[in-house]
Homo-oligomer: A and B are copies of this chain.
């Protein structure tokens, strides 16, 4: 980004004026217009909020649990990891907008859930959400041992937000016919040179493992189904959504810096 560019970001916005009948005045939409209080759109990248949005839920959830991050968790876990009751599910970046929903849906499906995060405060948050085992990957002496302690019987499903060395260690602890959904690789995105780890083929064959990378857009035609299911679980109290709300447009930079430092639990939202 250059000086003078509008900072990137998504928002729930209300239509104030409209010449497009698909977006009548007064409705709310999810947009990607960056840090701005008002903007003009041709309607191309606007998604109306689901109709019948429950009055007791903040519309900002459409940026998190009842939006793309929630759908990413829902489809990635259910369609790719395909957890069965009694199985053990591992998710990293577990306190994030995606990971926190992954763990809660895995609990709904009757699994044992292990989550990892990078601060002890986040571990408390994960416990509150119902995770069975949690640990701080930054402070454990050995990630290998911590994973073994959290699940001595190995892992059946692995929802991977991190990649790299973390995933190489997990691969060794996957059970026969284990399923890995690769959602992200935050440990690798900033690399300037290629990082290496053990080749995956021997454990893949010996344990007949399945691994699939995905972007949530592949299920765009099933958005409604996913949002409906998530909304139902929220209303039944089975999925908790924690938003980290900062008030006032002028506090945007501070909120953003706090999010980067990992101060937030759940989706970081600024109310304008």
Partner of A212, one of B197, B210, B214: B210
Per-residue 0/1 for A21-47: is the Cβ within 8 Å of any B Cβ (1 yes, 0 no)? 000000000000000000000000000
Count identical subunits in the complex.
Answer: 2
Assuming A199-B163, A205-B182, is B211 touching A211 (CB within 8 A)?
A: yes
Residues of B within 8 A of A210 (CB): 210-213
Q: Is the CB of B204 within 8 A of A199?
A: no
Contacts of A214 in B (CB 8 A): 205, 208
B-contact bits for A168-205, CB 8 A (1 contact / 0 none): 10000000000000111100110000111111111111
What is the bound-complex CA distance between A201 and B195, given in angstroms?
A: 11
Q: Does A164 contact B (CB under 8 A)?
A: yes
CB distance from A189 to the nearest CB of B (A): 7
Contact (Cβ within 8 A) A199 B208: no
Is A261 at the interface (CB under 8 A from chain B)? no
User: Which A125-167 residues have C-beta < 8 A from chain B?
Assistant: 160, 163-164, 167
A196 contacts across to B, CB distance below 8 A: 196-199
Asked if A212 contacts B202 (CB within 8 A), the reply is: no
How far does the Cβ of A183 sit from chain B's closest Cβ, in whole Å?
7
Q: Does A207 contact B (CB under 8 A)?
A: yes
Q: Which residue of B lies closest to A198 (CB)?
A: B194
A272 within 8 Å of B by Cβ?
Answer: no
> Is A114 positioned at the interface, with any CB of B under 8 Å from its CB?
no
A7 at the interface (CB under 8 A from B): no
Q: Choose one: B164, B205, B208, B218; the contact of A185 (CB below 8 Å).
A: B205
- Give me the interface of A with B, judged by CB distance under 8 Å: 160, 163-164, 167-168, 182-185, 188-189, 194-215, 218
Provide 27 A-B residue pairs closer than 8 Å at the C-beta atoms, listed in order of the A residue: A163-B199, A163-B201, A163-B202, A164-B201, A184-B205, A185-B199, A185-B201, A185-B202, A185-B204, A185-B205, A188-B202, A195-B198, A196-B196, A196-B198, A200-B211, A201-B213, A204-B212, A205-B213, A205-B215, A206-B213, A208-B213, A208-B215, A208-B218, A210-B210, A210-B211, A210-B212, A210-B213
